[in-house]
Amino acid sequence: MKKLLMSGKCRLGYAGESTELFDSYGKPLFTGDLVALSAYNENNPDQFEDYYGVEFVCNNEFQDNGLDKKIFVMGIASEHYMYYDGEETDDVENADFQETIVCQNHKKWRLRKVKGYENLVDGEEWGVVRVVFEY
Residue 33 lies in a domain: yes
**pLDDT attached to residue 49:** 66
Is residue 55 in some structural domain?
yes
Domains identified in the chain, total number:
1
pLDDT in tens, 52-110: 789 999 987 766 555 555 788 887 755 566 777 777 777 767 777 776 666 554 467 78
Owning domain of residue 109:
18-117
Residue 114 banded pLDDT, cuts 50, 70, 90: very high
Q: Domain for residue 123, yes or no?
A: no
Structural domain includes residue 92: yes
Beta-carbon contacts of 76 under 8 Å, excluding residues fewer than 6 positions away, are 37, 55, 102, 104, 109
The CB-based long-range contact list for 44-51 (8 Å cut-off, 24+ gap) reads 48/24, 48/110, 48/112
Give the pLDDT mean for 21-30: 88
End-to-end Cα separation, the chain, in angstroms: 5
Residue 91 inside a domain? The answer is: yes
The pLDDT tens digits for 30-46 are 999 999 988 777 677 66
Q: What is the pTM of this model?
A: 0.74
Residues 6 or more apart whose CB falls under 8 angstroms from that of 5 comprise 11, 12, 13, 14, 15, 31, 32, 56, 58, 129, 130, 131, 132
pLDDT-derived band at 117, boundaries 50, 70, 90 = very high
